Each structure stands twice: as C-alpha cells, then as structure tokens.
Amino acid sequence: MPIPSDYSKPKRKTAKETAFNQIQQWIIDGTLHPGEKLYDTELAKALGISRTPVRESLQLLEVQGFVEMFPGKATQVTAVEKESIKDLLPPLAALQALSAELAIPNLTEEQLTLLEDTNSRFAKAIKSEDYFSALKIDEEFHQIIVDAADNPYIFSIVDSLQAHVRRLFFHNSIVLTSSSIDEHNDIIKLMRDRDVESVSTLMRKNWLRAIEKFRLLNAE
C-alpha cells in the first residue's frame, strides 16, 4: 500500500518519560498521598516497565520537589505545604509577565483568535463551576502566550512551576474566580494593541490575585 509522503510518526515517549509523567500526575491528583512511601518494584509493575526508568524518574521528581529520597531507606511523596503558594506564584507571575512581553512581536492573528476562543471555553467552565476543566483551560490560555514567547528557558521553568500549581489546586489552595475571565480579555486586547508595559502589569496581577484569595479564605 502507498504511504503518504507527508506522514510523520507521533513522537514515542521513552519509558523514563512515561514513568515521570504518570507518577507526577498521581502525586498531583492525590492518587499517591503526601508522605506515602514509593517502591520502584511496585511502580514498575504498575507501569509495565523495568525498574531503571522508574528510579530515574523518581530522581527527577526529587529535583522538582515532588518526592524525597532517603538512600538505603525509602522514597516518599513530599508533604503539601499550602502556604507555599506565597513562594510559588510570585516567580511564576514574573515569568508569565515576561512571556507576555516577549510574545507580543510574535503573536499572529490566528493565535490571538485562539486566545479568545480559549477564554470563552474558560468562561463556560467557570460559570458551570467545573473548576478542574477551568484549571486545564487556564493553563492552555497561558501556554499559548508562553509558546509565542519562544524562549526554551522560560518554557522549562514555567512547566515545572505549573505542575506545583496543579497540585495545590487539588489540595484546595488555589481558587479560580470569574475575575480571570475579564482579565484574560483585557490581556488579549493589550497584546493586540502591543502595549508591553500594561500587559506585563496585568499578567502579574492575574497570577498574584490567587495569593490574596488564599489569605482571605484562611483568615475566615
């Protein structure tokens, strides 16, 4: 049979990537509880791979702060420190603001339209109180901007920090509100107008508001 000349195979994940992504997801969504001990033999069996990629992925997860490894003793899931939101969001806000600045010269009309469509989906999720979907769509919205910034260092650091944001969401430290809908619309307008200074300020505000919301909820 003839093979289409423009066919490209989907990128295959290595066993280490598969293990890393799945174990990280289990930690983020609470399938693996804070403080739970992890055994590479059990994880390897569950994932259908050998122990080596599992051990390598656990080492990467330790670097990211998701597990603690005690040589010769145990590996366990780190505790969830809800107060860490105060340390997590300021650097993420700064990187997201910088991404918006860098993205402005690169954004196409198609990408701006995609931002508008994504925010419409975000609004629907918020209004229907489907906050888990809203979180994922919010990530999509900001990822479009990070991708347009075209800076691999920002991409890598944001990706790592965003994983911790997801974990805090599952442990009720981060609350999404309808305020972000209007802010997203304003961000799109400012980017379309190429207003670098204003979009940077608003992007920081968009991310840092979650800290104030956290303080208010915990003061009650």
Tell me the per-residue pLDDT of 154-195, one tens digit each, with 9 for 90 and over: 999 999 999 998 898 887 656 677 889 999 999 999 999 999
Q: Where are the domains of the chain?
A: 15-77, 82-219
Comparing 57-71, 74-88, 129-143, 201-215, the range with the smallest average pLDDT is 201-215
Domain 15-77 has CATH 2.60.130.10: no
Which tokens is 29 given?
């969504």
- The tens digit of pLDDT for each residue in 37-96 reads 999 999 999 999 999 999 999 999 999 999 999 887 889 999 998 888 889 999 999 999
Q: Which of 186, 181, 211, 214 is nearest to 201 (CA)?
A: 186
Higher pLDDT, 18 or 172: 18
The residues, any chain, with a CB within 8 Å of residue 132's CB and separated by 6 or more, are 169
pLDDT at 216: 63
Round to whole Å and give the CA distance between 150 and 108. Answer: 13
Mean pLDDT of the chain: 88
- Find residue 70's DSSP bridge partners: 74
Fold of 82-219: Four Helix Bundle (Hemerythrin (Met), subunit A) (1.20.120)
Q: What is the dihedral of CA 71, 72, 77, 80, to 10 degrees?
A: -60
pLDDT at 168: 87
- Find residue 37's DSSP bridge partners: 76
Higher pLDDT, 145 or 81: 145
pLDDT at 24: 95
CA distances in angstroms from 207 to 26, 46, 139, 154, 203, listed in the order given: 25, 37, 12, 16, 7
